[in-house]
Amino acid sequence: MTFPQRLIDGYTAFLRTRLPLEQRRFSELAETGQRPEIMVIGCCDSRVSPEVIFDARPGELFVVRNVANLAPPYTPDGAQRAVSAALEFAVQALKVKHIVVLGHAQCGGIRAFAEDVEPLSPGDFIGHWMKLIEPAARMLGPRGDRPLNGYLAALEQASAVKTLDNLMTFPYVRTLVERGTLALHAAYFGVASGDLSVYQPERGAFVRIAADTPAQAFEAPRF
């Protein structure tokens, strides 16, 4: 097996088109270090790349991706916790001003949780990880006779909002949110439509961003 040709082709295209445009920015960022103001917690899903969706340039987004865009609650137990480490670095060292939890439609992780699928491995890493969705599922109540797709979309959205509650259990996150220097948001990407919506706490719902929507329309973050 060779290094994937697709990556060589993609990198060659990057060298030809994007790098010449961004060369100066890369050099500056290398010298001064990164200073992104926004952290995104996204899903590993290959269709939901935050840099693509937000048309981000190098240095603009600090991204952590995991199955189903989750974050655990604050648990200082000495275990190796990738999301908590990234969060700590983003908030304490980079001093990001916003954290966006980016949920999405047709999330395989959420679906696996809802359908209680068989473990893929004896360690069942996914099963254990997906337990983080339980509070959101409890909040929604049993599926009952709701159509599966509607239920999954509701769970994807509820889980993104609940993940903000987990972020608030980190003492430094809570402190900065209370000081007004950090804001937490939940957003939701519709894979098929390309629609992006943002959670509006006063409405208790996700509201779609239209091309001409001013940022003030989303003034009140969840935290």
Q: Which positions lie near Zn ion, rule CB under 5 A? A: 43, 45, 107, 109
Classify 39 as helix, strand or coil. Answer: strand
Calpha distance 31→213 (Å, rounded)? 36
At residue 68's C-alpha, the angle toward residues 187 and 5, to 5°, is 105
User: Cβ closer to Zn ion: 39 or 43?
Assistant: 43
216 vs 219, 220, 221, CA distance in Å?
5, 9, 11
Q: Could you identify the residue written with the tokens 């972020």? A: 167
CB of 151 to Zn ion, least distance (A): 16
User: Cβ closer to Zn ion: 43 or 160?
Assistant: 43
CB of 39 to Zn ion, least distance (A): 18
CB of 55 to Zn ion, least distance (A): 21
Question: 3-state SS of 104-117?
Answer: ECCCHHHHHHHHCC
CB of 104 to Zn ion, least distance (A): 6
CB of 20 to Zn ion, least distance (A): 34
User: Cβ closer to Zn ion: 43 or 176?
Assistant: 43
User: Cβ closer to Zn ion: 50 or 109?
Assistant: 109
Calpha distance 191→18 (Å, rounded)? 25
37 vs 62, 72, 118, 179, 217, CA distance in Å?
8, 22, 40, 16, 20
Q: What does the block give as tokens for 213?
A: 């929507």
User: Cβ closer to Zn ion: 60 or 156?
Assistant: 156
